[in-house]
Amino acid sequence: MQLTEIRIAGFGGQGVILSAMVLGKAASIFEKGYATVTQNFGPEARGGACSAQLIISDAPVAYPYVTQPDIMVVMSQEAYNRFAPELKDGGTLIVEQDLVRVTGLDKKKEIKVYGIPATRIAEGLGKKMVLNSVMVGFFTALTGLLDPDAVRKAVADSVPSNFRELNLQAFDKGFECGSTAAPDNVEAQLEAETVTEG
């Protein structure tokens, strides 16, 4: 678990902050690592946009901010436009594919792009609200950064008890998608699709 900078961004109500909390908790409480989550509390945090920064490491984290994210999860077009250029060369970009159209990525940076219709999957499970758990599952499988059991525990520990089961289902579903996803295919698929929402 070497020092990894992660940004998660989207809009309010998508569980952006909660996703960061779950992953951070998994790393630092249910595994032996360290994690620091900071949120953007600036005036821009009001209204739509919402973003969290998560640093995971096997040593205590001093500098708490993301400078060049290794991994970025974006769940809105606005967040994509704003943050995607920050990504590190060879970094990983995970998008909510129904909401984000991946355009203008610098090919030389060799960024691996993965997409998942997290909202649709969550709706399929009966509650749109759990899309963040779908995303967290997807993230866990794709990145291999954290022990899936630890993340599962963190999900269970972070959601209201009456929604625990549903969130775990959502996590599993996302994890399943992540286990089979291949970056290039997704990218091709993304480019073929027209995104109407944003």
Partner 1 sequence: MKADPRGVLTGEHFIDGDHACCEGALAAGARFAAGYPITPSTEVVERFAARVPTVGGTFIQMEDELAASITLQGGVWAGAKAFTVTSGPGFSLMMEHIGYAAMTETPCVFVDVQRGGPSTGLPTLPAQADMMQARWGSHGDYAVIALCPNSPQECFDLTIKAFNLSEEFRVPVMFMMDEVVGHMTEKVVIPPADQIEIVPRKHTKESVEEFQPYKTNGDLVPEIAHAGEGYRFHVTGLTHDERGYPNMTPQTQDKLVRRLQNKITSAADRIAMFEEAHLKDADVVVVSYGITSRVAQRAIDTAREQGLRVGKLRLITAWPFPEKKIRQLAGRVKAFVVPELNLGQMALEVERAAAGRAKTFSLTHAGGGVHRPEDILKVIVEASR
Q: Least Å distance between CB 126 and partner 1? A: 28
Task: Using the minimum distance from each CB to partner 1, give the nearer residue, 97 or 133.
Answer: 133
Q: Least Å distance between CB 45 and partner 1? A: 7
Q: Distance between CA 90 and CA 26 in Å, rounded?
A: 25
Q: Least Å distance between CB 50 and partner 1? A: 14
Task: Using the minimum distance from each CB to partner 1, give the nearer residue, 38 or 195.
Answer: 38
Q: Least Å distance between CB 114 and partner 1? A: 26
Q: Distance between CA 45 and CA 143 in Å, rounded?
A: 28
Q: Least Å distance between CB 24 and partner 1? A: 6
Q: Is the dihedral of CA 97, 100, 104, 109 positive or negative?
A: negative
Asked whether 10 and 79 are in contact (CB, 8 A), the reply is yes
Q: Distance between CA 70 and CA 64 in Å, rounded?
A: 15
Q: Is 83 helix (H, G, I), strand (E, B) or coil?
A: helix
Task: Using the minimum distance from each CB to partner 1, give the nearer residue, 37 or 116.
Answer: 37
Joined tokens for residue 162: 């009456």
Given the rule CB under 8 A, which residues bind partner 1? 21, 24-25, 28-29, 34-39, 41-43, 45, 61-65
Q: Distance between CA 106 and CA 133 in Å, rounded?
A: 29
Joined tokens for residue 33: 């690592």
Task: Using the minimum distance from each CB to partner 1, give the nearer residue, 41 or 104.
Answer: 41
Task: Using the minimum distance from each CB to partner 1, give the nearer residue, 28 or 119.
Answer: 28
Q: 121-130: b or e for each residue (b if 16 or more CB lie within 10 Å)?
A: bbeebeeebb
Asked whether 9 and 74 are in contact (CB, 8 A), the reply is yes
Task: Using the minimum distance from each CB to partner 1, give the nearer residue, 10 or 115.
Answer: 10
Q: Least Å distance between CB 124 and partner 1? A: 29
